[in-house]
Chains A and B, each alone.
Chain A
């Protein structure tokens, strides 16, 4: 560890640093608190690495520009908060069906609507999963420290490239704006995954060919591979079709290319779980409060630990089932009125008692609140 690599960094700044380390060379966005620094810092940093930054006229144009840039071969990202995340939903679905790798950052604020721009919330957990219409799978990640923001942003790009899919990076106002120590990884320590390029000539190229890993090879627009990109259900050549057999194949492939790879996609952290009899599930900034609460509860003799999903979607199903079978009780603490709680109940509710604690007043849940909830509940 050298001191040059140690920096005091804001979560939003770490997001840009991570993105650029992962290979981001295009950012289009429309600034919105509490994500604005991501646009600001991207604007400053991208030209220095030969990248492009565009401030678009709105959020819809931003995600559309990102999709276009990615089709042209650039790793691309946009960042927003609740209101902008709502606006981007239709195009996120377009990126899902057209299989365009990209990263959409949502630094959550209090909602609904413009809500509380400078206050944290975790109210977009379900929107990240089901915000765009139609049946689909989605990858959503959620870091809880500044270092994790850096690493998780890199992971978001890698997963987007590997599975040719939009990846949602969730943060919240606390993580976005807080500054803490970060040790920047050395370039050679960072694993980068790039999309598979065509292994055949333009004449033989099928842009949506079904391969063993279910992820088609991707040609950059402008490299001589001419193909059709559409939001309509399409065949392996990219041509629109209403054929139900082809539709079935496409939609199930889009879902399975993600759901078949949970071990690769799912990431989580466990804190003091070794001998735990009860577990608290929390993510993002709330997981930090829970860690402090667990330290207090452990001092009082309670065998309790934290399970923190970093990959929020798809759910770590196997891991949650094991928790359900081994824990006397599972508690879910989140800055909403029980969104991830629904998923936890669905997966492990049949094995053990599940209880949720949520709050939506724009303030981070405190360790003492969590301690009282655990001791009184």
Chain B
């Protein structure tokens, strides 16, 4: 399938807006047209946060996403809020702590230990967003790994390049190790 519209959701402070910016910048490096936008509440941390990225070979006019091709959910709240915005046939990448309270039989679900890899594996909770980007890239091939890595390094604070590069690679391998749950049959 063609992945055009991405919605990255979780709670404020998880770096989802940055993840959206990095994904968009990588696509731009690949020569695509991109629009990245976001919505957040007035609070700096803890509120629902989402970042949206549209990647296309064509000109992008309407800059928002109504229904997405891929949904990333890092919190239960975000999952419940946005699961209905995933297109039929779309892909959900969710943190494996999220309980599937809303059953949809028309999407693919990847349940990935993103937060525990960040917290326990890499011992840096703040790289969860980069792990998630690794998952998205490996799964959808929407951007090249070279561009993605370049954008990650370009956008993360100096001194954190190595841990972020590692996080990206953990993302690549994690998604490959997850057995795809196919609910959707064409």
Contact = CB atoms under 8 A, between A and B. Distances in A.
B21 interface: yes
A232 interface: no
A366 B67 CA distance: 12
B62 A288 contact: yes
Interface string B58-73: 0011111010000000
A6 B61 contact: no
A358 B24 CA distance: 31
A289 B35 contact: no
Contact of A179 (B36, B41, B62): B36
A371 B63 CA distance: 17
Contacts of A118: 39-42
Contact of B21 (A117, A179, A285, A367): A179
Contact of A180 (B42, B63, B66): B63
Nearest to B25: A8
Contacts of B37: 174, 177-179
Contacts of B66: 366, 368
B118 interface: no
Contacts, number: 57
A128 interface: no
Given A118-B42, A178-B37, A8 B63 contact: no
Nearest to A362: B39
B28 A178 contact: no
Contacts of A288: 61-63
Contacts of B38: 177
A261 to B, nearest CB: 31
Interface residues of A, number: 21
Interface string B32-51: 01111111111000000000
Contacts of B64: 174, 364, 366
A289 B37 CA distance: 15
Contacts of A367: 61-62
A8 B154 CA distance: 12
A291 interface: yes
A117 B39 CA distance: 11
Given A6-B28, A8-B34, A118-B39, A178 B62 contact: no
A108 B82 CA distance: 27
Interface in B82-103: none
Interface residues of B, number: 20
A292 interface: yes
Contacts of B61: 288-289, 291-292, 295, 367
A163 B35 CA distance: 35
Nearest to A290: B61
Interface in A75-125: 117-118
Given A8-B28, A179-B21, A179-B35, A174 B40 contact: no
A181 interface: yes
A361 to B, nearest CB: 13
Nearest to A365: B62
Contacts of A295: 61
B34 A292 contact: no
A117 B40 CA distance: 10
B85 to A, nearest CB: 13
A289 to B, nearest CB: 5
B63 A178 contact: yes
Nearest to A367: B62
A174 B52 CA distance: 12
A153 to B, nearest CB: 19
B5 to A, nearest CB: 13
Contact of B42 (A117, A174, A181): A117
Contacts of B35: 178-180
Given A8-B25, A8-B28, A118-B41, A181 B63 contact: no
Nearest to A363: B64
Contacts of A174: 37, 63-64
Q: In the complex, which of the residues A174, A178, A291, A292 has the most CB atoms of chain B within 10 Å of its own CB atom?
A: A178
Nearest to A116: B42
A121 to B, nearest CB: 14
Given A174-B64, A179-B24, A285-B63, 6 more contacts: A118-B39, A118-B40, A178-B63, A364-B63, A364-B64, A367-B62
7 A-B pairs with the lowest CB-CB distances in the bound complex, closest first: A292-B62, A291-B61, A179-B36, A178-B37, A292-B61, A288-B61, A8-B25
17 contacts: A6-B28, A8-B36, A33-B42, A118-B39, A177-B37, A179-B21, A180-B33, A180-B34, A180-B35, A180-B36, A181-B28, A181-B34, A288-B61, A289-B61, A364-B63, A366-B66, A368-B66
